[in-house]
Structure 1
Amino acid sequence: MRNLLLSAVLAATSLFGMAALAADYQAGKQYVELSSPVPVSQPGKIEVVELFWYGCPHCYQFEPTLNAWVDTLPDDVNFVRVPAMFGGVWNTHGQLFLTLEAMKVDQQVHEAVFAAIHRDGKKLATPEAMAELLAEQGVDSEAFLKSYKSFAVKGQMEKAKKLAMAYQITGVPVLVVNGKYRLDLGSAGGPQQAVAVADFLIAKERAAQ
């Protein structure tokens, strides 16, 4: 009986906490509700998309918080990274990420690419420079260069550009929850607050299902 009472108290406390969050997080303040929802990649799951750029220092600083949060996401949430491409080196780095994703080594070397740019001062502005770094991470250089120039990767680049336009982003890092809500570190109040707002929006979408 005592355990049942304790469970009831904890549940009530959790609900109270959610109500408090609901009062604090509002559309137009901590997040934006998109005028036209964007279809998700896995229907039936709540999708969280991060739009980023390897050259963005804020994205690099957000990585530890974001990765720790992603590790806690339940099975009904699908997390997706999408490179933002505004031309020039943004596109080059976006093509790099999509190539790694196509080769299924993105998780293996994602952090190494960020570190090479922001810690080691490498620009990674050419496929050859990328291939040299990736070889150090155990990725076959020839296979990378072949995939980098493939029609499949170029097709994914066009898809990523269209998604960024649909999400109406103007900078990074940005999180989009279930194709409906967009938030950034500035609007949320920082990295920890951003994932807290994302948690709130995930709960909101789950309750609506």
Structure 2
Amino acid sequence: MQRWFKRLLLGAAVLLGASVAQAAQWQALPKPMPVQTPGKVEVIEFFWYGCPHCYHLEPSLETWVKKLPADVQFRRIHAAWNSGMQVHAQLYATVQTLKLDDKLNMPIFNAIHKDNVELRDESVLNDWIAKQPGINAKNFMKTYKSFSSQTYARLSPQYTRDYGINAVPTFVVGGKYMTSVADAGSEADLYKVLEQLIAKVRNKQ
């Protein structure tokens, strides 16, 4: 085989390998999903309060979210595959309804993963929330028991299935593309891939 042809094959193999490696960093959703706010580039994090990977990602994710441009909308959906996750979904629905994400998401993660507090037990949650500064515990528990929070918990497995989520944390960009720390290769690379996907959606690709 001539030398130039060997080089051509080698170059093609390198390009193919790079292409496969790049493609592995994200995947297209089998069925595009509608975005919440037309005209915005939507980034959704599917997460679970009980997930240690979500817990470890939370500090850097909070920093990244604060720097997002005005045309990008970040939101979360609490994933659920079982009843225990649904109870945590009910807790997140309460946090979201009361707009307490900035005040309570990290404390909830710490309570579960660092302090081993069983927040799925309603009496334990009631005692814990009463100790959180600046939180109206009575209003919080009323919202927790509300029809809307219970409905969110009941529907959370459906949201998880609709997007084809089988692991957390998983991110969906523009209702079209999905990635994760595992797909991206590292926590630092995750944000690079997310920014690439944001640009892709922004450019209508």
Report sequence identity in percent. Answer: 40
Q: 1:28-75 deviations in whole A, cap 9, x for unaligned?
A: x11110121000111110000001111111001111121111111000
Aligned to 1:186: 182
Measure the CA separation in 1 of the matches of 2:153 and 2:35.
Answer: 17
Measure the CA separation in 2 of the matches of 1:162 and 1:45.
Answer: 24
Deviation at 1:128, TM superposition (A): 2.0
Structure 1: gaps (5+ residues) = 1-21
Deviation at 1:23, TM superposition (A): 6.1
Aligned partner letter, 1:42: T
1:134 paired with 2:123, answer no
Measure the CA separation in 1 of the matches of 2:32 and 2:185.
Answer: 24
Q: CA RMSD in A?
A: 1.8
Aligned to 1:197: 193
Aligned to 2:41: 46
Larger radius of gyration: 2
TM-score (normalizing by structure 1)? 0.83
Aligned to 1:164: 160
Alpha carbons 1:48, 1:77 under 8 Å: kept = yes
Aligned partner letter, 2:69: P
1:75 paired with 2:75, answer no
Aligned to 1:5: none
TM-score (normalizing by structure 2)? 0.85
Moved more, 140-149 or 75-84: 140-149
Measure the CA separation in 2 of the matches of 1:53 and 1:86.
Answer: 10
Aligned partner letter, 2:99: K
Structure 2: gaps (5+ residues) = 1-17
Q: What is the total number of aligned residue pairs between the two structures?
A: 187
1:146 paired with 2:142, answer yes
